[in-house]
Structure 1
């Protein structure tokens, strides 16, 4: 059957002006026009999936009929064939080898790093000072992911370089992904900064890999697991290991930092949420640990609601063969868009979706939620391997900060919406609790 076309289509430019002007405001309302809606992104025709059940088909039940879509092609030259961008058997092989690094028996050690870093950050704040929270959370996320990846002395050089370069890589990488290919070849300052940052990070990470291979010891970090991993008796090459390390850095820092910043902001501006979190944290009787996670159910609800309310805007897939999605048959090579933001703000799944409400996440609500309605980490064999790591980091950081401080917003949040709703100058005053 014919696919309904989204409104506000311009000649030649298609729906791109409407998307850039209204961002999520445009895509969140597309469910009103159908379960699958056609979008024209300039000359590129795409199919926007608004229905949770059909989203589950794209990501899970028919996932093998899709590969990464057009927006990911632009990242390939500098992220290589890491897990985020690879396809087919290579993707499955890499995923099998990387899974042990995120097994539960490793999480206790990672959690110790998380609490230590969050404690150091909280202890560095001064009573009454105003913090730019998204900057603090970015620095914290770099420290945690960097130390989880590299635990040796040589690895600390890599962490220092990551701290220096990773945000240039992330920000300029997104510019490249959204720009015509010729732009990255122009002698622009952003291009020079990006190329220099990639070169520095590659050099130091490859040095760490060379040092590890000379030593061969399992240091309990993620890099050790990557280099020890084998599939069919074959391990990763140095280049493949580097690709996976860079993928983990880019995927594991920015998104977690954004979620942490928004979670702290929402706690600080909602007295009842803050009260319930403080009661739960105080009942621990000491610093939060990995073993305390079952005793922090409300903190976990705050994390779930943050991931619902502030997810990435959209991801793209490309059909490998003709695919039936409900009443629509898509041809091979069709670009398909799935929007976590639109799904998470759909009133058919979430009553009052604009309201930040952690208490909605009851066991009965979760059990009744349609499959495909909550996809902060994707789904199927492309679900983010680091999802438990990220959620653990956010819960333990919330608990660590809440034990010492109240963070009070000094002005309403400003949002800079690019690939996700980024906080822009999230200023909060640090008020001691004791």
Structure 2
């Protein structure tokens, strides 16, 4: 079956809202060309999968025929060979060793720290104060990730360095990955800033790992779990470098997802008073004035619907896979080595899967309607063997943080101060200025 060719080339870079809209318009338009469409990424020929059923095949039913694609090759020199970038037998081994650190029982233990960190942040708020909400959610996400990973006073230098460098690493790392290699070697301010930040984080985490090895004490945090992990088949543990790579993966993946989801959740609650009212009523009923615990997350049904809708509306732009062998998708045989792209943003805004997809509608995640969403149409954490191992941690953190804030506060946008959006791999709010108002 011939593969349709998309008109024009996929625009790669640009941080303005018009460019963001052009990118999304382009990727959304590809579904009009077919289920599998050839797209040129510069000089690279790729195959763009637009059909959610085929995305499910790509990630799940035929997932073993694919590995991470060219985008992840670009990340590996910076972020190491953690779960986000590794492949094959090594990925399976690492996933088995990392998974216990994020098991449901451990996440339940971290939930108390999540609620406490959120309460400590909001304790600094004053009625009528104007907050840059995206800065608060970034600071909160870093605090929670660091408390889960590093629990001792000896870890303070590592925590301070993460606070200083993590968002430089995340944002500039995506820009570096999407630009030609030659550009990344130029002495540009962004390149120098990124190189210094990633170098500092690499050094401080490796030093911490070595000191923990010498300490030999289980501190009950994620880092201790990674250091104690053993391969079930061989009994071997991780090297210092492998522990470093997984720590960096957990930090980058966990901090960005939750910080952005929290910021956009508060934004959407403020824009939709009836949704906000329902969230407040549910939080009041379930919590009855106390701090949220892990057991409460499943009871906050409507709040979880709101979070799902935020994850639907503000996902990553695109992800890649590479075919290990010739593989058939939707009647098209992809050759060995083919680079395959899918866009969570385009899938999440496909009117065939989501009616009126640009409307914020948490009720689309009611049990009855959610059951109608096609497989592969909603992939905020991926799917299959490479689904984000920290998805339960992230979802728990978002729900507990929102519930903690909603129990006491409303966040009201400043009039005539629209939120600016910066864009790399996903939409970053900038100047999300909101007034904190105590709930009556």
What's the TM-score once normalised by structure 2's chain length?
A: 0.95
Equivalent-residue separation in structure 1 for 2:381 and 2:388 (angstroms): 5
Q: Does 1:386 align with 2:386?
A: no
Equivalent-residue separation in structure 2 for 1:26 and 1:184 (angstroms): 26
- Where in structure 2 are the equivalents of 1:250-329 lying within 5 Å? 250-283=252-285, 284-285=287-288, 286-329=290-333
Equivalent-residue separation in structure 1 for 2:165 and 2:368 (angstroms): 44
Note the alpha carbon deviations across 1:148-207, whole angstroms, 9 max, x for none.
011111122211110011111112211211111122222222222222212221222122
- Tell me which residue corresponds to 2:195: 195
- Tell me which residue corresponds to 2:438: 432
Shift of 1:123: 1.1
SS of 1:47 mapped into structure 2: strand
- Where in structure 2 are the equivalents of 1:199-218 lying within 5 Å? 199-218=199-218
Give unpaired runs (5+ residues) of structure 1: none
- Tell me which residue corresponds to 2:36: 36
Is the contact between residue 316 and residue 426 of structure 2 (CA under 8 Å) also seen in structure 1?
A: yes
- Tell me which residue corresponds to 1:61: 61
Q: Which moved more, 1:39-48 or 1:184-193?
A: 184-193
Shift of 1:29: 2.5
Give unpaired runs (5+ residues) of structure 2: none
Q: Which moved more, 1:199-208 or 1:70-79?
A: 199-208
Is the contact between residue 315 and residue 345 of structure 2 (CA under 8 Å) also seen in structure 1?
A: yes
- Tell me which residue corresponds to 2:245: 243
Equivalent-residue separation in structure 2 for 1:157 and 1:344 (angstroms): 40
Q: 1:175 to 1:15 in 2, by over 3 A?
A: closer
Is the contact between residue 12 and residue 178 of structure 2 (CA under 8 Å) also seen in structure 1?
A: no
- Tell me which residue corresponds to 2:168: 168
SS of 2:298 mapped into structure 1: helix
Shift of 1:18: 10
- Tell me which residue corresponds to 1:398: 402
Q: 1:213 to 1:235 in 2, by over 3 A?
A: same
SS of 2:398 mapped into structure 1: helix
Equivalent-residue separation in structure 2 for 1:77 and 1:18 (angstroms): 20
SS of 1:75 mapped into structure 2: helix
Is the contact between residue 4 and residue 37 of structure 1 (CA under 8 Å) also seen in structure 2?
A: yes
Q: Does 1:122 align with 2:122?
A: yes
Shift of 1:17: 7.2
Equivalent-residue separation in structure 1 for 2:84 and 2:389 (angstroms): 10
Equivalent-residue separation in structure 1 for 2:237 and 2:153 (angstroms): 24
- Where in structure 2 are the equivalents of 1:303-382 lying within 5 Å? 303-382=307-386
Equivalent-residue separation in structure 1 for 2:325 and 2:167 (angstroms): 37
Q: Does 1:409 align with 2:413?
A: yes
Equivalent-residue separation in structure 1 for 2:330 and 2:5 (angstroms): 16
Q: Does 1:23 align with 2:23?
A: yes
Q: Which runs of 4+ in 1 moved over 6 A?
A: none
Shift of 1:237: 0.3
Equivalent-residue separation in structure 2 for 1:199 and 1:229 (angstroms): 26
Is the contact between residue 122 and residue 404 of structure 1 (CA under 8 Å) also seen in structure 2?
A: no
- Tell me which residue corresponds to 1:49: 49
Note the alpha carbon deviations across 1:342-399, whole angstroms, 9 max, x for none.
1110111101100011111111222222111110000111000000000001100110
Equivalent-residue separation in structure 1 for 2:173 and 2:163 (angstroms): 16
Note the alpha carbon deviations across 1:117-136, whole angstroms, 9 max, x for none.
10011111111111111111
Note the alpha carbon deviations across 1:240-289, whole angstroms, 9 max, x for none.
10011111111111121111100111011111001001101111212211
SS of 1:83 mapped into structure 2: coil
Instruction: State the number of aligned residues.
Output: 429
Is the contact between residue 13 and residue 178 of structure 2 (CA under 8 Å) also seen in structure 1?
A: no
Is the contact between residue 147 and residue 156 of structure 1 (CA under 8 Å) also seen in structure 2?
A: no
Note the alpha carbon deviations across 1:404-434, whole angstroms, 9 max, x for none.
1110112333322321122122111111113
Q: Which moved more, 1:24-33 or 1:328-337?
A: 24-33
Is the contact between residue 18 and residue 26 of structure 1 (CA under 8 Å) also seen in structure 2?
A: no
Is the contact between residue 16 and residue 40 of structure 1 (CA under 8 Å) also seen in structure 2?
A: no
Equivalent-residue separation in structure 2 for 1:353 and 1:46 (angstroms): 27
Is the contact between residue 23 and residue 417 of structure 1 (CA under 8 Å) also seen in structure 2?
A: no
Note the alpha carbon deviations across 1:68-118, whole angstroms, 9 max, x for none.
111111111111111110010000000000000011110122111111110
- Tell me which residue corresponds to 2:99: 99
SS of 2:277 mapped into structure 1: helix
Equivalent-residue separation in structure 2 for 1:366 and 1:239 (angstroms): 41
